[in-house]
Amino acid sequence: ASGDGFIQLEAVKGQSRLYGEDGGLSDLWLYNGKLPGPEIRVKRGERVKVRFKNSLDEPTSVHWHGIRIDNAMDGVSGLTQPAVQPGETFDYDFVAPDAGTYWYHAHHMSWNQVPRGLAGPLIVEEEDNPFSPDADIILSLSDWRLDDNGLLDTASFGARHDFSHAGRLGNWLTINGTSLPDIPVRKGRWHRIRLINTSASRVLDLAPSRFGAKVIALDGQGFGTARDIDGVIQLAPAQRMDLVMKPDSAGPIPFEMMTGQPFTFANFVVSGEKAEPKELRVPAPNSLPEPDLVNARSFPLDMAGGAMGRMQSATMDGQELSMRELVQAGNFWAFNGQAGMGDKPLFSAKRGETIILESTNNTAFPHAIHLHGHHFRVLERNGEKLAHPDWRDTFTTQRGETVKIALVADNPGKWLVHCHMLGHAASGMMDWFEVA
């Protein structure tokens, strides 16, 4: 932070060895030249003042993902602010009302800017964070597409096949910008591990119980307890998961991805003499406005896709277009028969009203649907009430699945709803809702 209390954040061109020591330097776009961007950490209720400078050759903006923010500070170019032009600055100034693990990323042509490196962690601490700094570990998990030389494959950005299928999937994973890192942990101590999936499209299948970790928060929102999760839990693009773990034995503990064969992408390296055992203290949850399910209003959210799904035609800019015309315009996806941003909101809510979104995934692919400016509870999947109706800001939906979520629309403004598989958002799966 500088004298006036502003944190300086600058989008610049930079380089990094994604493939590791033997790999070459990939050309990336970075915040402050770092991969991931600098950690921004404040306490709950504190003001965040960021003076952002765009030193790229193209416009950009910064979105604060998962924060219940003032609409004007949401950082969505073309909706909440004009894009920040090359050489220009923009001051972001907001209060972070809820503790938890959040992140920030570019929100202008995100499909092109985020997978070049424009993402960083935003941590809002509880007043009484029980974990000391060296036991509070952030892991930004990123999926990259590298070419045969181990360099970022830039030629395939915007490939139609990616957009119309599962999105831009990579072939290389990094944690905090490094491949297969060692993560130091201390024997007998409780650690908090904050996972952030910054990938453009990759859903990570994780099994925290395999290394003795329990889950204490999803998308920043703490449960108030530590939950044992059997088997695999998915971390979709943009989602976060906070774990707690207490390594008891010496020797590396593999951190694995469970897609197919378990695949190690990091090792927790345990050191130190066994400290005197400390009780686990899990932070209390944020107090978020509870949905009023009795007086709620329901809206459908129908997801349809082109080539692979059942979408025959859709509206774009108020005009009915055939599937062929939509594909020519680069649109493969639609919410409620509308590809991309409509003139009218997808739904409108009165301030304070509870909205139930009844989503149906009528496409051949999974999606990760994110709503801006709000948290919501996931109530049901395929008609079954969930045992834990957890708070989220991004929910997954598998092909053919119906998912019901409840949100209290209490933040006035125009907010995006989009798939966080960024190529999907760019090719139709993005619209907006209004709270007035």
Q: Which stretch binds ligand C2O (CB under 6 A): 27-35, 217-225, 307-315, 413-421?
A: 413-421
The tokens for 326 are 């939509």
Cβ distance 394 to 263 under 8 Å?
Answer: no
CA distances for 391 relative to 61, 113, 356, angstroms? 27, 28, 14
Distance separating alpha carbons of residues 2 and 7, to the nearest angstrom? 6
Give min distance, CB of 123 to Cu ion, in A. Answer: 16
424 touches Cu ion (CB under 5 A): yes
Distance separating alpha carbons of residues 318 and 312, to the nearest angstrom? 16
Residues 99-138 that bind ligand C2O (CB under 6 A): 105, 107
What is the number of residues in the chain?
436
Q: Report which of 37, 9, 374 is spatially closest to residue 220, judged by C-alpha positions.
A: 374
107 touches Cu ion (CB under 5 A): no
Whose Cβ is closer to ligand C2O: residue 62's or residue 173's? Answer: 62
Task: Give me the sheet containing 7-16, strands edge to edge.
Answer: 26-31, 7-16, 47-54, 89-95
240 touches ligand C2O (CB under 6 A): no
Q: Could you identify the residue written with the tokens 């960021």?
A: 50
What, of Cu ion, ligand C2O, none, does residue 418 touch, CB below 5 to 8 Å by kind? ligand C2O
Give min distance, CB of 48 to Cu ion, in A. Answer: 15
Distance separating alpha carbons of residues 14 and 118, to the nearest angstrom? 11
Give min distance, CB of 327 to ligand C2O, in A. Answer: 24
| Beta-carbon contacts of residue 132 (< 8 Å; ≥ 6 apart) | none
Q: Which stretch binds ligand C2O (CB under 6 A): 283-291, 303-311, 320-328, 416-424?
A: 416-424
Give min distance, CB of 52 to ligand C2O, in A. Answer: 16
Residues 372-401 that bind Cu ion (CB under 5 A): 372
Give min distance, CB of 150 to ligand C2O, in A. Answer: 28
What, of Cu ion, ligand C2O, none, does residue 419 touch, CB below 5 to 8 Å by kind? Cu ion
Q: Which stretch binds ligand C2O (CB under 6 A): 15-23, 215-223, 325-333, 414-422?
A: 414-422
DSSP type of residue 187 = T
Cβ distance 165 to 133 under 8 Å?
Answer: no
Mark residues 30-69: x for contact with Cu ion by CB under 5 A, - for none. Answer: -----------------------------------x----
CA distances for 206 relative to 100, 257, 346, angstroms? 20, 5, 33
What, of ligand C2O, Cu ion, none, does residue 367 touch, CB below 5 to 8 Å by kind? Cu ion
421 touches Cu ion (CB under 5 A): yes
Whose Cβ is closer to ligand C2O: residue 157's or residue 415's? Answer: 415
Q: Report how far Cα 27 is from the mean position of its chain's Cα atoms.
A: 23
238 touches ligand C2O (CB under 6 A): yes
Three-class SS state of 318: coil
For Cu ion, the binding residues (CB under 5 A) are 65, 367, 372, 419, 421, 424
For ligand C2O, the binding residues (CB under 6 A) are 63, 65, 105, 107, 238, 370, 372, 416, 418, 420
